[in-house]
């Protein structure tokens, strides 16, 4: 599954962006749906940016939803688990607030933030707050764990590049290593496993 995409921003609007990546000898361009909160933090077109991706499958079509932070992507995924909440509504929620702001508002019983978002209203805000309320401790922990895991992946990639691996083979080695180690594994274990998987691949 796609976790994140890093590439050149070729087009942007408050709801949709195009991201261009070099894959081998080809250039691939992705169309990604975003919330306004992500749009506001994007660089100008032509610059490089990383978006954290959530693929959503609808009627046989894969739609990509992107977020400037891993926390917002995690919240988007959790919002989709709530009754009556689809991608459009979840995006509207995260257009009006961030994951951290939403968690804070729900934990403090502040429904005004949610209710002020277009298409939400007071009754739906109460429902979302009720559904999320019991999940706040686990959500905060999940966000912390995923953020830590992503930081380890980034550092592991930097270490492999420093060891002389090309970016493509370093990413492939990390991808193979991720199938062998547990989420949240120490940085040293990630690097060691990635190098081991690269060596095994070369021997085959």
Chosen domain end from 106, 122, 140? 140
Return the pLDDT at 186: 63
Say if residue 185's pLDDT is above 70. Answer: no
Return the pLDDT at 201: 63
Q: Are residues 81 and 48 in the same domain?
A: no
Distance of CA 20 to the CA centre of its chain: 17
User: Domain span at residue 26?
Assistant: 4-67
Tokens of 161: 């590049």
Chosen domain end from 52, 67, 82? 67
Q: Are residues 75 and 59 in the same domain?
A: no
Across all residues in the chain, what is the average pLDDT?
Answer: 83
Between CA 136 and CA 84, with CA 69 as vertex, the angle to 5 degrees is: 50
**Residue-wise pLDDT tens digits, 79-102:** 999 888 999 999 999 998 888 888
Using CA atoms, how far apart are residues 173 and 185, in angstroms rounded to an integer? 15
Chosen domain end from 48, 67, 86? 67
**Residue-wise pLDDT tens digits, 12-23:** 999 999 988 876
Q: Are residues 75 and 133 in the same domain?
A: yes
As for how many domains the chain has, the answer is: 3
Return the pLDDT at 93: 92
- Which CATH number covers residue 126? 1.10.150.20
Using CA atoms, how far apart are residues 33 and 192, in angstroms rounded to an integer? 36
Pick 200 or 126 by higher pLDDT. Answer: 126
Pick 39 or 151 by higher pLDDT. Answer: 39
Return the pLDDT at 15: 92
**Residue-wise pLDDT tens digits, 24-77:** 567 889 999 999 999 999 999 999 999 999 999 888 888 999 999 888 998 999
pTM value > 0.85: no
- Which CATH number covers residue 13? 2.40.50.140
Q: Average the pLDDT over 101-118 and give the result.
A: 87
């Amino acid at each position: 599954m796609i976790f994140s995409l890093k590439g050149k921003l070729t087009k942007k609007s408050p709801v949709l962006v195009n991201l261009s990546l070099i894959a081998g000898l080809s250039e691939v361009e992705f169309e990604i749906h975003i919330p306004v909160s992500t749009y506001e933090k994007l660089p100008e077109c032509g610059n490089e940016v990383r978006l954290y991706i959530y693929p959503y499958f609808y009627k046989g079509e894969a739609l990509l939803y992107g977020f400037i932070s891993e926390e917002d992507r995690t919240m988007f995924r959790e919002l989709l688990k709530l009754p009556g909440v689809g991608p459009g509504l979840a995006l509207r929620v995260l257009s009006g607030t961030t994951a951290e702001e939403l968690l804070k508002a729900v934990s403090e019983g502040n429904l005004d933030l949610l209710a002020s978002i277009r298409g939400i209203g007071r009754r739906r805000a109460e429902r979302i707050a009720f559904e999320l309320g019991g999940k706040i401790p686990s959500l905060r922990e999940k966000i912390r764990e995923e953020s830590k895991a992503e930081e380890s992946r980034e550092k592991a990639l930097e270490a492999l590049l420093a060891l002389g691996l090309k970016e493509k083979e370093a990413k492939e080695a990390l991808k193979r290593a991720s199938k062998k180690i547990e989420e949240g594994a120490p940085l040293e274990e990630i690097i060691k496993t990635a190098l081991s998987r690269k060596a095994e691949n070369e021997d085959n």
